[in-house]
Structure 1
């Protein structure tokens, strides 16, 4: 009995040490990945700028008959393409490591909503089209237009399809790749089939394990981290589905995954007008800003000088007036002196971090309507949106996405915030609602009796209360301690 007790204690100590080591590994992976993001953002961003300047302005202006100079120009252009493509590949690898660290620590953010799987496939195919062109592979799509709605995180599912398509291209030298989707027994089944090298029987159990890859790593150079498929499995299983494969060595592989459809909602397809308009808006460049007499001013707040320089060049080239601040305190001072039209804000800065800067600006009536885009290596979107920032993007910078958000927010003209108006005077509620709505705010109305329920359901950024009903301090304290309501502003009027 004593011997068993000793063994039990030793096992407990060993388990605790193993858990500590695993946590330390996850923390190390997360820290290193974050530290790599900042210099990678600069390298990738400036490489793209140099390539664009050469192709748009310098090469067209050079007229030479010397074949040697022409070859050199072509070589420079090809070298820059390699720098950009390798930078993007490194970004993908870092994202995989970060995703793993977040999954292991339970900090992965999920944004579930009803989605059209046709859109998921379309965006994934568009993102991987250049891979098919490079290897001259044919992509065959069998996607019906009437696929039922599913509840899912659109970006995460796009990530899964991109990963499976990229793998299919990577291991296929000739032939074709097909992607198919269909409904079966309350689920949507995806199939991605290739005519590549296939997977040997001995290797099939490895491919969904972390940091494991099929093949002999001494003779077959590993292509990636071995994290793509394990992360795909985590994403699909979180959606209530499963992922599996059929493969024959030297013939090809077929990967399958399933996503449950939404019960009753699936039979009631919503109007697709919003979807069509959103798709059109994504394709149309916002040109109305260029016709404005006053050039919009954007304040870039980042303690990293190369990042500020990169954004200044990119935004300046797009026609915006750019101001810079190297830290949060300087940014607050500049905003008070002259209000910018939009702020791009980093999180990790000395003295005052970006979240605190955003909280100060969003809690001040004089600055709360300035749109704020957080652009950071820190992935804490939920906290940013809770404070009231309008968009949350992560580094390395996706220039196209950043410009889209900047254009959209400037066109919108005012930061959209949710306001809950609480009053038993119907006319007062109507007056406030009309005024706030005209200013671009989203207004929810409530009376004192259903205040708690309405606030919990809508999670407003501002609660406006009549001082006559403000006597119940207990209710206000309950509100402040509800999850997601920690940063709500209370405006009391009479």
Structure 2
């Protein structure tokens, strides 16, 4: 809202303008009348006749002209001059009405009223001014009236009542005229304020606003649009832009300006999506609406800069493609890794290896385990991009987990690097996610191994309820302080790392940092000195279980059952392996046959259904992703066959997949599978699951 000072300022401007126009009108009227009068005088009389009258006429017109010029040159004298001129004529008409005893006295008094309103009342700016003016005017006309009344002197009551009524009416009329003028000024000022605010809003918003009239002319544009087109006009600018049209009435190869002119034929209120223009690498999406603008049809155009949105959409599409690609590639890599690890472990367990071959098998298993870590990094990155990375906390044996991690790294160290581990006050059992914790420790140890040529790698764990602290230090090349921030960025690799060790994709530390946060910590901290080594540390939340779990198995314990006993118990059971990768079938078969189980296989879902119709199997290992008919659909069909009575017994179906996300597990269980194994699956876990479902 506008304040009263602004209203008074506007009212003052309009008062001055009105006063000057009033005086100018009277001045030009008098000047015109004077010219006509003197012209008639010169025409009717000789040049030397009535010289005094002619000179007075000429002088009066000259003075009137000077007065008009003076008012224009000195605006401050306009209002005082108008007031004094009004008072002069007021006194003249009082005299003509009373003193001259003219029969036209009533006419003169009426004319005086209009003259007074013409010269003075428009200047009144408050109730106080109106009261003063009405009292002054009443007294000016009352005193001469009483003076020239002679014998017809009215009564006191009549004088007082008439005077009071005259004063009241003058005050009321002038005050309400003032109020009207004030309200008009206030409305105009308010409209001006609203117009300024709207213009400010339109100039502030980044969208490009333009109004084009029916006669194809620009009637309005905001600052953003003016900055966009610079020195060009509207037609020139739109003609230069590359235009991809969405306008239904658009013709082939038409420009945006052509579609705008065509849209003006549409009815008022029509919404028009035009399309996108490109100019100087700026993409603008244009929309329009047919409106009534200043009593004629026009179109208001709104253009939004969608360059960043288009870039983000492109990046999102690339991320989705990269995520899908990584997920697919990782799945395909895990499949042969499963077969390699399974066969390698079977060979290792045989008693027919020399010490040299045992060492070679250890190297093979260690390399495959390292490869599996890289594959897990790719899978985790894909899940992080998709926003579906989950944490599953269970009781775990910390000592056993650390031993597994150090074994994977020890076979890669060689003779110049020593690996030391130390555990201080760490409980035997803690609750956390074993897979994620193992992944963090392996990434830290692997990173230390890559950049340590000789010396020592140290892994230390300590516990202070409820937090587990992990610290991995090395005597490697170290890292410059200004480069520490790059360590935890995705695909971030330092120049030195690419030279010394070109392996890896730069995801390990970034993912480990995210996992540390997911496990209840604040990420990974790093301290380093160039040429002396680095130290990576983190703290995660790891509660102790409320009940001591004495039944948590120790993988280091060597418990061996007589092989003949196992085979005797399991000989009567037959397992169907359904997988499109023959290497996986061979790996599963070697493990199961070593336990005395009979194995059969199928390369796809349709082949598996045919075999199930012919043979009653004790258990089915079902790969999820296969050609012709995948594992999920095959499982659903097997359940349908059981419900229809086509098969008498529904064997337990164990899904096998290389995907690690929880969504795949849920999909397997929803399709009717009884359990799920993740490839590569350790031999012991596979045997335990098979036996559980066969003997259930």
Inter-CA distance 367–47: structure 2 relative to 1 (3 Å threshold): same
Contact 1:374–1:392 at 8 Å: present in 2 too? yes
SS of alignment partner, residue 204 of structure 1: helix
Superposed CA deviations along residues 392-428 of structure 1, whole A, max 9, x for unmatched, are: 3333x34xx1x3133223433547xxxxxxxxxxxxx
Describe how 1:276-425 pairs up with structure 2 within 5 A: 278-279=553-554, 283-285=558-560, 287=563, 288-292=565-569, 294-361=571-638, 364=642, 370-379=651-660, 380-387=664-671, 389-395=673-679, 397-398=680-681, 401=682, 403-414=683-694
SS of alignment partner, residue 93 of structure 1: helix
Partner of 1:102: 383
Q: Does 1:11 align with 2:292?
A: no
Contact 2:624–2:656 at 8 Å: present in 1 too? yes
CA drift of 1:373 comes to 3.0
Describe how 1:225-244 pairs up with structure 2 within 5 A: 225-242=505-522, 243-244=524-525
CA distance in 1 between counterparts of 2:345 and 2:469 reads 41
Partner of 1:451: none
Partner of 2:330: 33
SS of alignment partner, residue 189 of structure 1: strand
With 204-213 and 192-201 compared, the bigger mean Cα shift is at 192-201
CA distance in 1 between counterparts of 2:693 and 2:342 reads 30
Q: Does 1:165 align with 2:445?
A: yes
Where in structure 2 are there 5+ consecutive unaligned residues? 1-202, 209-223, 226-301
Describe how 1:164-203 pairs up with structure 2 within 5 A: 164-184=444-464, 186-203=466-483
CA distance in 2 between counterparts of 1:302 and 1:6 reads 56
CA distance in 1 between counterparts of 2:629 and 2:613 reads 16
Q: Which has the higher contact order (CA 8 A, sep 6+)?
A: 1
Partner of 1:257: 538
CA drift of 1:40 comes to 5.1
Contact 1:47–1:83 at 8 Å: present in 2 too? no
Inter-CA distance 315–116: structure 2 relative to 1 (3 Å threshold): closer
Q: Does 1:21 align with 2:318?
A: yes
Inter-CA distance 280–312: structure 2 relative to 1 (3 Å threshold): closer
Which of 210, 219, 224 is residue 504 of structure 2 equivalent to?
224
- Root-mean-square deviation over aligned CA pairs: 3.7
Q: Give 1 or 2 for the bigger CA radius of gyration.
A: 2
Contact 2:451–2:500 at 8 Å: present in 1 too? no
With 336-345 and 176-185 compared, the bigger mean Cα shift is at 176-185
With 278-287 and 378-387 compared, the bigger mean Cα shift is at 278-287
CA drift of 1:160 comes to 0.8
CA drift of 1:134 comes to 5.6
Inter-CA distance 251–346: structure 2 relative to 1 (3 Å threshold): same
SS of alignment partner, residue 462 of structure 2: strand
Contact 1:149–1:269 at 8 Å: present in 2 too? no
TM-score by length of 1: 0.67
Report the count of equivalent residues: 389
Inter-CA distance 102–356: structure 2 relative to 1 (3 Å threshold): same
Inter-CA distance 167–330: structure 2 relative to 1 (3 Å threshold): same
Q: Which one has a larger percent helix, Structure 1 or Structure 2? A: 2
SS of alignment partner, residue 324 of structure 1: strand
SS of alignment partner, residue 499 of structure 2: coil
Superposed CA deviations along residues 249-306 of structure 1, whole A, max 9, x for unmatched, are: 22122111111244xxx4x64122122xx22697535644223373532211012334
Contact 2:620–2:653 at 8 Å: present in 1 too? yes
Partner of 2:43: none
CA drift of 1:174 comes to 3.2
Contact 2:396–2:430 at 8 Å: present in 1 too? yes
Contact 1:147–1:183 at 8 Å: present in 2 too? no
Q: Does 1:48 align with 2:336?
A: no
Inter-CA distance 260–179: structure 2 relative to 1 (3 Å threshold): same
CA distance in 2 between counterparts of 1:408 and 1:212 reads 41
CA distance in 2 between counterparts of 1:148 and 1:412 reads 25
Contact 1:34–1:377 at 8 Å: present in 2 too? yes
Which of 526, 548, 551 is residue 274 of structure 1 equivalent to?
551
